[in-house]
Homo-oligomer: A and B are copies of this chain.
C-alpha cells in the first residue's frame, strides 16, 4: 500500500485521474476541469504516464499538428474503487457547500456504491476484520 500512496498521494495527481475517469483525455481538459495550472498538469500527466496509470497517444485533427491524448491503462482504471471510496468519504465528512459530482450507473441511473464483504458474501465492518500474513508465491 505504501507503493500505491507514493503514486496517487499527490492531490493534483488524483484530481487528474478523476478527470480521466470522467472521460477527459486532452491536456486542456485536465487543466480546465481539474483546476490546475498548465505546468502542474504537465508534470502530473508525465508522472502518471511514467507510472503506467495513463498512456499517452498521438492524435491529429485535419489541418492541425499532431497532439497527444491521455487514456487510463488497466492499472489506472483499477484505481476506480479507491476513487469512489474517497468520494464517498468526502461526501460524508469533508466537503462543504458547492455542487458535488455524484457517480451513477449508466445502465439504470442508480447511485454507485462501494461495499465491503467477504468472499462468502457476508457484509464486513470494522470489527469483523482479521489479519492474515500472505507470503509471496
A residues in contact (CB < 8 Å) with B = 1-7, 9-11, 14-15, 18, 21-22, 72, 75, 77-90, 92-95, 97-120, 122, 124-136
Contacts and interface: CB of A to CB of B under 8 A. Distances in A.
A118 B122 CA distance: 18
A92 to B, nearest CB: 6
A134 B100 CA distance: 5
Given A9-B5, A86-B82, A120 B108 contact: yes
Given A80-B126, A136-B97, A9 B6 contact: no
Given A118-B108, A131-B104, A6 B2 contact: no
Contacts of A116: 80-81, 84, 112-114
B5 A86 contact: yes
B10 A9 contact: yes
Contacts of A2: 11, 15, 90
Contacts of A110: 118-120, 122
